[in-house]
A = this chain, B = another copy of it.
Amino acid sequence: MTFVTDDAAMTGRLKSEKKYLLDEMTRGDMAPEELPLFRGLPASRRAELLRHAMVHSVSPGTVLFEQGDVPNFQLVVLAGSAQLFGRSAEGREVLIEAARAPDLIIPAAVLTDAPYLMQARVPEPSRFLLIHAAAFRAAVDADPLLAHAVIGSLAHQFRRMVRQIKNLKLRTATQRVGCYLLALSKRQGTPDRAVLPFEKTLIASELGITRESFSRALSSLGQSGIRVDGQTIAILDARRLAAACTPDPLIDGADAGDFLI
């Protein structure tokens, strides 16, 4: 089992660099045994699952799977992260979401044995647990605790998607940018600034706008008390920023920041 690595997938379009993600590396480097996914499982069952599993370390640029592929494995992020992209028939590509340790990567596709709707790429050196899809489905069917964990993961992921839809349908580009910054600063625990987790081009595509519009939105939010310095956005006046973009906990939400499962 090998992944497509680097090459064509990395030329051109959207890719992500290490530098933005180094700080993330401090978080989450899990041994498979201590995954929350397995919490409370009888040792025998865990061992059984891990017998059908392996750990892969992959380098930046690796494509874990393509959209349209039928899942062979349930992937679980042990360290690093994966980015999920949607691509149109014309070849345009947008970031839909990012998975970090200890997330499951799209259990919805694996459990229904349906083709992936997104491509997964790895932006930084990362490690994944690969559990055979059929074995995973069987284990989930057999073990209530595992099923419970999976349900939690699916539910959180569903809610993230609903939030994103509300964000896209109900807000303007500038509002999305402002709320994104506020959510980021809150998640990072630094009320006076936010550090962008990856390239602006990529964030723009996550927010459903072009990089140029993102850049302009940032500069227009200068009027609302922010200063841009590279990847760091200083938030001088959170009150004013909030007034300009009307954040809403049901969109930018509490649990949008805490991680799946």
Contacts and interface: CB of A to CB of B under 8 A. Distances in A.
A118 B162 contact: yes
Contacts of A164: 161, 165
Contact of A158 (B67, B157, B169): B157
Contact of A171 (B88, B112, B142): B88
Oligomer: number of copies: 2
A108 interface: yes
A108 B164 CA distance: 15
A148 B151 contact: no
A90 B169 contact: no
Chain A, interface size category, equals 35 or more
Given A147-B144, A158-B157, A170-B88, A165 B96 contact: yes
Contacts of A112: 152, 155-156, 159
A205 B169 CA distance: 8
A117 B151 contact: no
For A92, A164, A255, the residue with the greatest tally of chain B CB atoms inside 10 Å of its CB is A164
A70 interface: no
A131 B212 CA distance: 49
A30 interface: no
Contacts of A157: 158
Nearest to A151: B111
Contact of A161 (B151, B158, B171): B158
A225 interface: no
Interface of A: 67-68, 86-90, 92, 94, 96, 107-109, 111-112, 114-115, 117-118, 140-144, 147-148, 150-152, 154-159, 161-166, 168-171, 205, 208, 246, 248, 250-251, 253, 255
Given A144-B144, A157-B158, 16 more contacts: A86-B165, A92-B170, A107-B155, A108-B154, A108-B159, A111-B152, A112-B155, A112-B156, A114-B255, A117-B159, A140-B148, A140-B151, A142-B144, A150-B151, A158-B158, A164-B165
